[in-house]
C-alpha cells in the first residue's frame, strides 16, 4: 500500500514537473538588459516575470545588467530584444545613429535633485550662492542639472564652492556636514530622512525636463515583430498597475527574495521610496493619467534633447519624433 502511494506521488510530481516544462517550452524566450545592477526598484519587471504576466503574453524573460551606453548598443545590434537604460543614454545613442527607439517612457521624470539639510539656510536655487555643493562627476547628468538650475536663478557654477565626490561617499559627505548640498538621486532624500537626517530637496525636473529608465527596442525588431513589443509592454503595464494599486510592499519583498537579496534589511525604506517617489512621481504623471502608463510626451522629450544639446552633451541631436516609437 505504501509502495503504491509513493509511486502515485512520484507520478503526480513527474506530471507537474513535465507539465511546467512543456508550458515553458511554449513560451518565447526574450532578453532585457537593465541599467546597473539588480535592485528592487526594478520591481515592475521582476513582478511581471514572477507573477506570470509575461507568461500570459507568451514570453519568458531573462534579465541581464550593464551600463546604459552598452545597453543601447546591444539593443541596436540585436544582441538583446529589449533594454531598460537611463533616458540620457538613449538620447546620446540615438544621436550617434544607433537604431533604437523608446517604446515605453516608464519613468516620466528624472531622479535628479539637489539635497540639503534644512538647517543649511537653503530653500531655493538662489540660496546656493557661496555654498559648498558636491556632484559625483563633471560628466554626470547631475552636473548639467545643476548648471541649468543655477542659470534659471541668475547664477553660475563659479558662484559656488563646487566639489567632486565619488558616488560611494557623496551622501555621507552631506550627512556629516562636509558639504552644504549634493546634486544626486532623490531616492537618497528618503533614505536620509529614514536615518533621522532632516533634509529637503529641489527636484531637477523643475528646471530640466528629463526621464529616468525607459524601455527601448531596436528598429529591426519593431519592423519585424511589433507584436512582440506590444506583448512585453502589456505585461509591464499590468505589473505597474498591480503595484500602483496597493501592492508596493509585496513587490519589494518579491524583488528582494528573488533578485536583490542584499536589500533584505531595507524592505521598509524601499517600500516607502516606491510609495513616495516611484508611484506618484516616476511611474505616473498628468500625462499618463490622460494617455496611459508609459506614454511618451513628445514635447517634453524635445525640451530635454534641446537642453542636452545646448550644454554640449550631444554632438548630433535626434528629434523627439525620431526617438520615440508610436505604438499602434
pLDDT at 7: 36
pLDDT at 2: 38
In a domain, 197, yes or no: yes
pTM, 2 dp: 0.88
What confidence tens digit (pLDDT) does each residue in 44-55 have?
999 999 999 999
Q: Considering the chain, what percentage of its residues have pLDDT values greater than 70? A: 92
| Grid cell for residue 206 | 523643475
Distances (CA, A) of 10 to 7, 16, 21, 23, 24: 5, 10, 16, 20, 21
154 sits in the region (left: phi over 0; alpha: psi -120 to 50; else beta) called: left
In a domain, 75, yes or no: yes
pLDDT at 322: 94
| Grid cell for residue 289 | 493619467
Is a pLDDT exceeding 70 seen at residue 21?
A: no
**Stretch 250-264: mean pLDDT, rounded?**
97
In a domain, 4, yes or no: no
Contact call for residues 197 and 175 (beta carbons, < 8 A):
yes
CA dihedral sign of residues 264, 86, 79, 75: positive
In a domain, 44, yes or no: yes
Q: Is the domain of 152 the same as that of 237?
A: no
What confidence tens digit (pLDDT) does each residue in 285-301 have?
999 999 999 999 999 99
pLDDT at 24: 61
Q: Is the domain of 119 the same as that of 245?
A: no
Q: Considering the chain, what percentage of its residues have pLDDT values greater than 90? A: 86
**Stretch 190-210: mean pLDDT, rounded?**
94
In a domain, 175, yes or no: yes
Is a pLDDT exceeding 60 seen at residue 1?
A: no
pLDDT at 17: 37
Summarize the chain as % helix, strand, coil (round to 5): 55, 15, 30
**Stretch 224-239: mean pLDDT, rounded?**
98
Q: Is the domain of 229 the same as that of 308?
A: yes
**Stretch 33-45: mean pLDDT, rounded?**
97
Q: CA 300, CA 307: separation in Å to the nearest integer?
A: 11
Instruction: Look up the CATH number of the domain holding residue 280.
Output: 3.40.190.10
What confidence tens digit (pLDDT) does each residue in 134-157 have?
999 998 889 999 999 999 999 999
In a domain, 276, yes or no: yes
pLDDT at 327: 73
Q: Which residues span the domain enclosing 216?
A: 9-109+211-323
Distances (CA, A) of 74 to 171, 213, 219, 220: 32, 16, 12, 13
3-state secondary structure 50-103: HCCHHHHCCEEEEEEEECHHHHHHHHHHCCCCEEECEHHHHHHHHHCCCCEEEE
Q: Is the domain of 227 the same as that of 140?
A: no
Least confident among 120-129, 176-185, 273-282, 304-313: 304-313
The rounded Cα 248 to chain-centroid distance in angstroms is 16
**Stretch 211-221: mean pLDDT, rounded?**
97
How many other C-beta atoms are found inside a 10 Å radius of the C-beta of residue 320?
A: 20
Stronger pLDDT, 207 or 101, i.e. the higher one: 101
pLDDT at 23: 56
How many CA atoms lie within 13 Å of 219's alpha carbon, on the beta-carbon side? Answer: 9
| Grid cell for residue 124 | 531655493
H-type alpha helices, 96-131: none
Q: CA 75, CA 85: separation in Å to the nearest integer?
A: 10
pLDDT at 141: 87
Residues in the chain: 328
Q: Is the domain of 288 the same as that of 243?
A: yes
Q: CA 44, CA 201: separation in Å to the nearest integer?
A: 26
pLDDT band at 170 (very low <50, low <70, confident <90, very high): very high
Amino acid at each position: 500500500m505504501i509502495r503504491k502511494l509513493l509511486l502515485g506521488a512520484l507520478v503526480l510530481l513527474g506530471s507537474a514537473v513535465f507539465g511546467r516544462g512543456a508550458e515553458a517550452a511554449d513560451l518565447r524566450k526574450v532578453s532585457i538588459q537593465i541599467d546597473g545592477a539588480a535592485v528592487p526598484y526594478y520591481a515592475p519587471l521582476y513582478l511581471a516575470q514572477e507573477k506570470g504576466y509575461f507568461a500570459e503574453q507568451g514570453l519568458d524573460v531573462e534579465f541581464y545588467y550593464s551600463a546604459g551606453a552598452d545597453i543601447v548598443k546591444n539593443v541596436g545590434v540585436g544582441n538583446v530584444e529589449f533594454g531598460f537604460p537611463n533616458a540620457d543614454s538613449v538620447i546620446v545613442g540615438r544621436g550617434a545613429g544607433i537604431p533604437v527607439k523608446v517604446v515605453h517612457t516608464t519613468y516620466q521624470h528624472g531622479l535628479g535633485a539637489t539635497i540639503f539639510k534644512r538647517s543649511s539656510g537653503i530653500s531655493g536655487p538662489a540660496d546656493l550662492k557661496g555654498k559648498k555643493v558636491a556632484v559625483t562627476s563633471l560628466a554626470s547628468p547631475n552636473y548639467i542639472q545643476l548648471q541649468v538650475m543655477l542659470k534659471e536663478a541668475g547664477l553660475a557654477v563659479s558662484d559656488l564652492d563646487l566639489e567632486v565626490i565619488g558616488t560611494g561617499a557623496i551622501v555621507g559627505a552631506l550627512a556629516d556636514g562636509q558639504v552644504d548640498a549634493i546634486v544626486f538621486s532623490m531616492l537618497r532624500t528618503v533614505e536620509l530622512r529614514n536615518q533621522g537626517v532632516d533634509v529637503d530637496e529641489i527636484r531637477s525636473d523643475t528646471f530640466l525636463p528629463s526621464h529616468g529608465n525607459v524601455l527601448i527596442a531596436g528598429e529591426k525588431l519593431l519592423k519585424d515583430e511589433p507584436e512582440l513589443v506590444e506583448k512585453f509592454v502589456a505585461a509591464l503595464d499590468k505589473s505597474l498597475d498591480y503595484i500602483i494599486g496597493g501592492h508596493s510592499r509585496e513587490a519589494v519583498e518579491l524583488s528582494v527574495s528573488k533578485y536583490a537579496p542584499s536589500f533584505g534589511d531595507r524592505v521598509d525604506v524601499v517600500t516607502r521610496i516606491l510609495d513616495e517617489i516611484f508611484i506618484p512621481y516616476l511611474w505616473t504623471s498628468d500625462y499618463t493619467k490622460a494617455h496611459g502608463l508609459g506614454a511618451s510626451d513628445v514635447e517634453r522629450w524635445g525640451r530635454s534633447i534641446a537642453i542636452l544639446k545646448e550644454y554640449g552633451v550631444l554632438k548630433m541631436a535626434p528629434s523627439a519624433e525620431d526617438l520615440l516609437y508610436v505604438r499602434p
